[in-house]
Structure 1
Amino acid sequence: MCRTDIRGGIYGMAKRDELRRKELADFLRSRRRRVDPSVTGLPLASSGRRRMPGLRREEVAQISGVSLTWYTWLEQGRDINASEQVLNSIAKALRLSPVEQAHLFRLAGEKAKGPAAVETESPLHVQELLDLLNPNPAYAINRFFDILAWNRAEEALLHLTLAELPKAQRNVIWLLFNDPRARDLLPDWESEARWLVGILRAESAHQPGAPRLIELVDELRAGFPEFERLWRSHELGSFTPAERRFNHPKVGSMRLLFMKLAVEGSEGCSVVTHFAAPDSPERELLARLVATSPTGGDAHLGPPS
């Protein structure tokens, strides 16, 4: 390896570590301002008039048993290492949820070693699996919600021809904010947006400085004030099987279960599928939706080669 490559690698690691520390600082401030001082057990008389909502830094330090200087350095993004005991104490003081506490540990962990590889193409045989799932809508995504492959039922559900979109716009979160049909399709659009942005925010702790993540987040923040507001809130989300409501222009109201399945051996690829509960009217609605979709009887409409 030449000297230039070594210098570039060191600079890249330092930049990613700087981004991680800034993310940690922003996260701590956002969680501190969320805590109601009245529930902490601190004497309200000592609180005084507050210019900002939430706890003061010295109150977090007092509750957690961490020195004010040390906690301030964390919120300033200083290059320091916090012990597990310190992080647990801060998490308790800030009343973090289990998801938020795990996020805190990732942000405050060892120096970032560089972004992991991210799938940009559908792994082998995933398209065949998606085809077998028809008439249940299904698609494959990477860590940043880029859609890598899909089946005919998914296009019918979205009422959208994914293959006609530029590759960079075949992204679940991009479509959620950019395509006005998404708000009509999803009656719970606001909660969906908050949840998905929270998942992306949590992923950012795993891969600070990943080029695709930076590109996607920068475009969304510049183009959509609602995304900017949600991103700055530092709320976190996680994927769990659940039920989702749809209001489709062809078949009307539907309630579908959905699940995400990891593709083992891939670099963060997952298959997301929607399906109807047994003996529910949605099973017939899905079959009718796919049968009458513009793609006819073809097996699938996968990504263009």
Structure 2
Amino acid sequence: MRILLTGSSGWLGRFLAPGLKAAGHGVIGLDIAPGMHTDLVGSVADADTVARAFAMGVDAVIHAGALHKPDIAHMPEQAFIDVNVTGTRNLLEAAARAGHNRFVFTSTTSLMISQAIRDETSEEAVWLDESTGPLAPRNIYGVTKLAAEGLCRLYAADRGLACVVLRTARFFPEDDDTHSTPPGDNLKAIEFLHRRLTVEDAADAHIAALERAPELGFDTFILSAPTPFTRKEAALLKRDAASVIARHFPDAPALFAKRGWTLPATIGRVYDAGHAEKRLGFRCKTGFAEILDALREGRRLPFVHDPSYVAPKDKMPQS
């Protein structure tokens, strides 16, 4: 198939485009920034640009392009609506008109985080899966991604376009934009327990969704490394996360200490990716156990930590 991949110059696109090609697909990359996997520079918010992309011969769409949470600091709300909502609708309409039977949408677990969850007001870790709701996103990023998910659901129901929504947990390489402690690599390692996956796993999940979309119809999946925790541990995770981690991984405290890392005193939320494993047939290859294996054996960590990473779109001159 010839796949239209939006966001082809971004972090996910850097891994997804080669993965699609290795799976035997042709790739037409669309992004607002030039890149090695980008064939057409332009915005999905522009219907003419989308039409030009489809004129290149498109059999299916993976819509991974978007404005993200860090963009809130320098982009107006209207830009999020234009790109994340109108842009998604432009692609869905073009795909439905073309008679496509598969559309994969990159969403985010961020839209599941209300202000109360963000503030960790609960006495136990909040267990998040696809049944969590009602959803109350706390910023324009989450609001627009939730709206885009709704458009996918409508096009699946009303136009017969099979749409798979992938709510990805964190996989960005740069440091967290709100937390400076613990250090970035330490924080990323911890997050594989409850809210992170590798970019390689994120790319593989999109390819799996592309292949399965026609039989799935419409569905939503949380993508995160498999958590070792159970719902019964939610209260203790909030009170004393380090002890729960040590129970599951007895040598984790020593391995972390040897590297100068710390384990968390508390964990306030857990993403459960069980639905993706059961129905999509996808399970992340890299989890916390693999990170400990690397520490134990003195190997390179199985995730990317790059504090200097800047998205290609953010390198472009501002108009």
TM-score by length of structure 1 reads: 0.25
Whichever structure has more helix as a proportion of its residues is: 1
